[in-house]
Amino acid sequence: MTNPKAAMLVIGDEILSGRTRDANMHFLAQEFTRHGIDLKEVRIVSDDPEAIVSALNALRASADLVVTSGGIGPTHDDITADCVAQAFGVSIRVRDDARALLQAHYDRQGVEFNEARQRMARIPEGATLIDNPVSVAPGFSIGNVHVMAGVPSVFQAMVASLLPTLTGGAPLLSQTLRIMRGEGEIAAPLGALAARFPDLSIGSYPFQKDGAYGANVVVRGADGAAVDRAMTELASLFPADQA
Amino acid sequence: MTNPKAAMLVIGDEILSGRTRDANMHFLAQEFTRHGIDLKEVRIVSDDPEAIVSALNALRASADLVVTSGGIGPTHDDITADCVAQAFGVSIRVRDDARALLQAHYDRQGVEFNEARQRMARIPEGATLIDNPVSVAPGFSIGNVHVMAGVPSVFQAMVASLLPTLTGGAPLLSQTLRIMRGEGEIAAPLGALAARFPDLSIGSYPFQKDGAYGANVVVRGADGAAVDRAMTELASLFPADQA
């Protein structure tokens, strides 16, 4: 069985300007790993229609599913829904079910459901709504693309709404060994180990701490017994350097 | 004057799996903003030669300059230098100046300059070395592509070595106003403000805190006086809701 391949498109001027440090990509990566969905690529583009449409079309062609984050609020810089409609060549308009959700929400709050807020009910033709238990304004799925908010608490709630509807694969299992030796010392035996376990992914992530060199070696794969065997071999290669 | 447009390619299985939260993109975004270089796109791909080569070729064609991070260490999963050589259609081999740097470093440490470590002296033909004051193994520049390490302390040191060699533009100035009102309230006046200042970028970043809705409104531009004027207007629109 092959795990589904996913991509993510972050619409994020605030990340590209360095104002905000990404949180949604990190969250989605962890959730997908747990659900056996392989996140293969992430692109971060600015609030520019051409950039969004072209990245979206590239990713939805290359991946089994695409998640987007950002740009579906009520302000002038929220252009994601229009770009998604353009990418799919469909129309977009205020949809009754989305409007009803928002109308009820603002009625409860005693707040005017003004024109800006009605923008959040604009949904491309043929899309399915994604539930937003935090702030009601829905995300939506169209084709293999799932469009979600950029505010982390809302993004996370929408991912929780979406995940049960996705078919995952075997969760990727991983084990890590922290080895207090420079990568240059461990590279040769590690390469040989990787060659003996071609179905596993064996990565080495070096670090420096208090002037000492070390590496976290991560063994990943869907076959838990193979991960165990590789880790046992790995540990026996560097018996005195584990920390 | 137009600011140079930059792109970043992160080679990062560990980020796509959720093991590590990005730090290099966030650091580079902040440095570029300070130096008047516009980061327009970031792509994160896995340790897969085809994915790396194809992303690199797309980004170096669309951006004025490209920074890569990750995959230039001594282990079997460090394949970035080979992929860069392939993307540029040039050869790659151990280069004397890079080897001499590393040889001297390991001699000082009394550590063997073994075959794995010599991999870090493999440099594509025609490249210029980027100084690495942290752990010596150099990065390199070829064409408009600057190839750097993934370990954050090393990446940051390499960015510091690279930046003085890049021609920046006018630093992007930004001011933020935190408004304790839902985006739906501020969207209409904010859109009108953005229309009056077409040369500025005015972004709204909503948040929820302790059950209250608010938005950070960020005004960005190279013209400080225009940023000031827009901020003054913005503040006068919402006099009672600033926090």
Residue A242, domain member (yes or no)? no
Cα three-residue angle A67-A71-A75, rounded to 5 degrees: 160
Three-class DSSP category at A64 = coil
User: Do the chains contact at B14 and A203, CB–CB below 8 Å?
Assistant: yes
User: Do the chains contact at B188 and A46, CB–CB below 8 Å?
Assistant: no
Three-class DSSP category at A132 = coil
User: Do the chains contact at A203 and B43, CB–CB below 8 Å?
Assistant: no
Same-domain check for residues B28 and B119: yes
Same-domain check for residues B82 and B38: yes
Q: Write out the DSSP string of chain B.
A: -PPPEEEEEEE-HHHHTTSS---HHHHHHHHHHHTT-EEEEEEEE-S-HHHHHHHHHHHHHHSSEEEEES--SSSTT--HHHHHHHHHT--EEE-HHHHHHHHHHHHHHT----HHHHGGGEEETT-EEE--TTT---EEEETTEEEE-SSHHHHHHHHHHHGGGS---SPPEEEEEEE-S-HHHHHHHHHHHHHH-TTSEEEEEEEEETTEEEEEEEEEES-HHHHHHHHHHHHHHSTT-B-
Cα gap A81→A145, rounded to integer Å: 11
**Which candidate from A29, A115, A120 shows the least CB-CB separation from B18?**
A29
Cα gap A77→A116, rounded to integer Å: 12
Q: Which of residues 104-123 of A touch B (CB under 8 A)?
A: 106, 111, 114-117, 119-120
Q: Percent of chain A beyond pLDDT 70?
A: 99
User: What average pLDDT score do residues A163-168 get?
Assistant: 88
Same-domain check for residues B63 and B30: yes
A3-25, pLDDT tens digit by residue?
Answer: 899 999 999 889 999 999 999 99
Residue B161, domain member (yes or no)? yes
Same-domain check for residues A66 and A18: yes
Contact criterion met (CB below 8 Å) for A163 and A178: no
User: Do the chains contact at A203 and B174, CB–CB below 8 Å?
Assistant: no
Three-class DSSP category at A181 = coil
Of the three residues A165, A185, A202, the one that is the final residue of a domain is A165
The per-residue pLDDT for B243 is 65
Same-domain check for residues B72 and B18: yes
Same-domain check for residues A11 and A108: yes
User: Do the chains contact at A22 and B21, CB–CB below 8 Å?
Assistant: yes
> Å from A128 to nearest chain B CA?
23
A-to-B residue pairs, Cβ atoms closer than 8 angstroms: 206
Residue B242, domain member (yes or no)? no
Task: Flag whether residue B16 sits within 8 Å of chain A, measured between CB atoms.
Answer: yes
**Which candidate from A18, A183, A202 shows the least CB-CB separation from B73?**
A183
The per-residue pLDDT for B128 is 96
Sort out which chain A residues have CB atoms less than 8 A from B195's CB and list them. Answer: 76
ipTM of the complex: 0.90
The per-residue pLDDT for B170 is 79
Per-residue pLDDT of chain B (243 residues; tens, 9 = 90+): 588 999 999 998 899 999 999 999 999 999 999 999 999 999 999 999 999 999 999 999 999 999 999 999 999 999 999 999 999 999 999 999 999 999 999 999 898 999 999 999 999 999 999 999 988 999 999 999 999 999 999 999 999 999 999 988 878 888 999 999 888 989 999 999 999 999 998 988 888 777 788 899 999 888 999 999 999 999 999 887 776
User: What average pLDDT score do residues A69-87 get?
Assistant: 95
Report whether pLDDT(A67) > 70. yes
Instruction: For residue B206, list its beta bridge partners.
Output: B215
Q: Which residues form the domain of B23?
A: 5-165
**Which candidate from B43, B74, B191 shows the least CB-CB separation from A76?**
B191
Cα three-residue angle A7-A13-A18, rounded to 5 degrees: 100
Cα gap B79→B225, rounded to integer Å: 47
Same-domain check for residues B101 and B199: no
Residue A148, domain member (yes or no)? yes
User: Do the chains contact at A183 and B16, CB–CB below 8 Å?
Assistant: no
Please, which contacts does A162-169 make with residues 24 or more away whose CB atoms are closer than 8 Å? A162/A67, A162/A130, A163/A31, A163/A35, A165/A141, A166/A4, A166/A35, A166/A37, A166/A65, A167/A4, A168/A3, A168/A4, A168/A35, A168/A36, A168/A37, A169/A1, A169/A2, A169/A3, A169/A4, A169/A36, A169/A37, A169/A38, A169/A222
Of the three residues A126, A143, A165, the one that is the final residue of a domain is A165
The per-residue pLDDT for A243 is 65
Sort out which chain B residues have CB atoms less than 8 A from A40's CB and list them. Answer: 16, 45-46, 51
CATH number, domain at B197?
3.30.70
User: What average pLDDT score do residues A191-207 get?
Assistant: 91
Interface test with B, best of A8, A16, A39 (most B CBs within 10 A): A16
Residue B143, domain member (yes or no)? yes
Residue B69, domain member (yes or no)? yes
A112-162, pLDDT tens digit by residue?
Answer: 999 999 999 999 999 999 999 988 999 999 999 999 999 999 999 999 999
Residues 6+ apart with CB under 8 A from B238: B177, B179, B181, B186, B189
Cα three-residue angle A89-A24-B79, rounded to 5 degrees: 90
Helix (H) / strand (E) containing A30: helix A24-34
User: Do the chains contact at B117 and A172, CB–CB below 8 Å?
Assistant: no
Strands in chain A per DSSP E: 5-11, 38-45, 65-69, 92-94, 122-124, 128-130, 139-142, 145-148, 173-179, 201-209, 212-221
Cα gap A237→A216, rounded to integer Å: 14
Same-domain check for residues A95 and A182: no
User: Do the chains contact at A31 and B18, CB–CB below 8 Å?
Assistant: yes
**Which candidate from A18, A55, A205 shows the least CB-CB separation from B14?**
A205
* Total-model pTM: 0.91
Residues 6+ apart with CB under 8 A from B52: B9, B11, B45, B71, B79, B80, B83, B87
Cβ atoms < 10 Å from Cβ of A241: 15
The per-residue pLDDT for B174 is 87
Same-domain check for residues B161 and B179: no
Of the three residues B165, B185, B209, the one that is the final residue of a domain is B165
User: Do the chains contact at A116 and B184, CB–CB below 8 Å?
Assistant: yes
Sort out which chain A residues have CB atoms less than 8 A from B197's CB and list them. Answer: none
What total number of domains does chain A contain?
A: 2
- B31 to each of A24, A45, A47, B25, B28, how far by Cα in Å? 22, 18, 20, 10, 5
Contact criterion met (CB below 8 Å) for B69 and B148: yes
Same-domain check for residues A100 and A151: yes
Sort out which chain A residues have CB atoms less than 8 A from B172's CB and list them. Answer: 17
Same-domain check for residues B139 and B178: no
Cβ atoms < 10 Å from Cβ of A108: 9
Residue B112, domain member (yes or no)? yes
User: Do the chains contact at B26 and A14, CB–CB below 8 Å?
Assistant: no
CATH number, domain at A145?
3.40.980.10
User: Do the chains contact at A172 and B17, CB–CB below 8 Å?
Assistant: yes
**Which candidate from A41, A207, A220 shows the least CB-CB separation from B151?**
A207
Same-domain check for residues B95 and B147: yes
Residues 6+ apart with CB under 8 A from B156: B24, B27
Q: Which of residues 176-235 of B touch A (CB under 8 A)?
A: 176, 182-188, 190-191, 194-195, 201-208, 213, 215, 218, 220
User: Do the chains contact at A40 and B75, CB–CB below 8 Å?
Assistant: no
Residue A243, domain member (yes or no)? no
